[in-house]
Structure 1
Amino acid sequence: MAQHASLPGRDVHRIVTMAHRCEEADGVAPFNEQTTLGLSREPSPSRMHFLVRQEESVIAYAGVETVGDGAEAELAVDPAHRRQGVGSALLAEVTDWLETEITQLRVWAHGDRPHAEAFAAARGFARDRGLFQFSRDLDGFAWPSAWPEGIGRNWPIGEAPPAHVAEGVRLRPFRVGRDEAEWLRVNAAAFASHPEQGRWTAADLAAREDETWFDPDGLLVAEDEDGMLGFHWTKVEDGVGEVYVLGVDPRAQGTGLGRTLTLAGLAHLAAHGIRQVDLYADESNTKAVKLYRSQGFDIVRTDVQWTKRLR
């Protein structure tokens, strides 16, 4: 088993190939976006990669990042090498690497599968968080009968009540090279209690801007004379749209801006021919879950974060 602060391109390729085999076998990808992007990141004292090799292949991988006194990890074992102790050895290696001040380890399992639950429970992990994936087809969506002035070019019109924003608020696309600092400020404020989204850095944002799917026109922001109030970042991959991140600054929460931003992002996707839209929300975020259910989204998958106290 090998530990690396950073990975050469050939190992990234081997890990991605192994991840594809896992997805084919399990019906769900083993790693989230943060882990996938982390494969190519520069070395950091807070991040470590663990690989189990067999000849020229990687048969298991774990990515770990420390945050304060906790650590977060994702791991996967090639389907052909499961139930042979590889996963247990990999997890033990991860735990041994963590320093004495790390008191808690959190591990994501995608798809809420019984064998993942059994693996976690047998090793002293407890279910801590659930992340719902919602999905719906936009055909038959109840579109507003009108959009705020200045936006909505080719956006669909329906018979639902008009979409509105407060006086002095306008919607516009994100401006690369100008809006990053304000976006990071609003994102941090909107997700102050979120363990992942709220700690995004300029490097995290820049990494997404470098992705092939990034489209600044699909990142809609709301602002007034005092600055940015909120945003709806949409994403399109393989013909499927996603409510990637939706955030509202605390000073605009409770004004209905979140609902309007949600509708605006969906309309942007529909105007570009997208019919299926996915989104994610924590099961504990009952307000968001209620909003998305009211807009016709159904839960199609649950990811689970398992947590273990180390010390």
Structure 2
Amino acid sequence: MLLALVALPGMALAQQADPKQWQLNMGKGVTQTARMAYEAHMVVLWVCVVIGVIVFGAMGYAMFKFRKSKGAVAAQFSHNTTAELIWTIVPVIILVVMAWPATAKLIAMYDTRDSEMTIKVTGYQWMWKYEYLGQGVEFTSRLDRGSDQMRQSGQVPTAASNPHYLLDVDHPLVLPVDTKIRFVITADDVIHSWWVPALGWKQDAIPGLINEAWTNIEQPGVYRGQCAELCGKDHGFMPIVVRALPKAEFQQWLAARKPAAPVPPAPAEGSPAPDITPEQAAPAATSASARSDATQAAPAPQA
């Protein structure tokens, strides 16, 4: 047990974006938001460690030094104004010191200004709909067919045969890296919650309301999450998969998903001629007049 406590700080610093077995700390994530949350968490963790060492160290020293077997006699008093002032003022100072950077980070986490693109996320029982606003691209994302067949088969999935059981989808959300992306999140039926731990935030999807969030993914990769709200009997079968691509690859993917521009139909035979505006007809009339003048001015051919 003592070795585990000694190794805890090192193991905490070693955690990365994806959760691992026996993980003892939150992941660092792959976004600025996740990094801010991780840094705030680590500051509070070390403050708690220092307070714990001081308090439990003082308790252990007092119990050992002033034990009854050594003839120690307890002091007979009920209040100590100095001690009460110390253990009231010191915690207040600690809380204020921690609250200042935490508040600044929290404000930054909700600042969606200067976003380069916007994704609309809509929760349904039990799938997600993604719309790339202004791009004409939208699709739904639901539990992968293989995971769905496995859960209904009665078999026991294993990490070797089903490494991402219940965490795969048919159409992942594809995003570019190094791009500030704004999310507008809502729901169509009941309350859902869009949550990908590696991105460092979670936002409720509420029918009739629009919530906002943003992300800026720093590393290409595949990041998984789930609906974090009890949205019905199939709540556990509503995963989220985000696929982060370099900007050039993302633009190619987006161009391939955009609908083709409609081609205007050719006029049918016998249909009336299209209307021509005076501006369109003027050049033709001027050209015909010039040809007529040239014909009149030409000398007649000699016999």
What range describes the TM-score normalised by the shorter chain of this pair?
under 0.3
Larger radius of gyration: 2
| Structure holding more strand per residue | 1
| Structure holding more helix per residue | 2
| TM-score of the aligned structures, taking structure 1 as reference length | 0.20
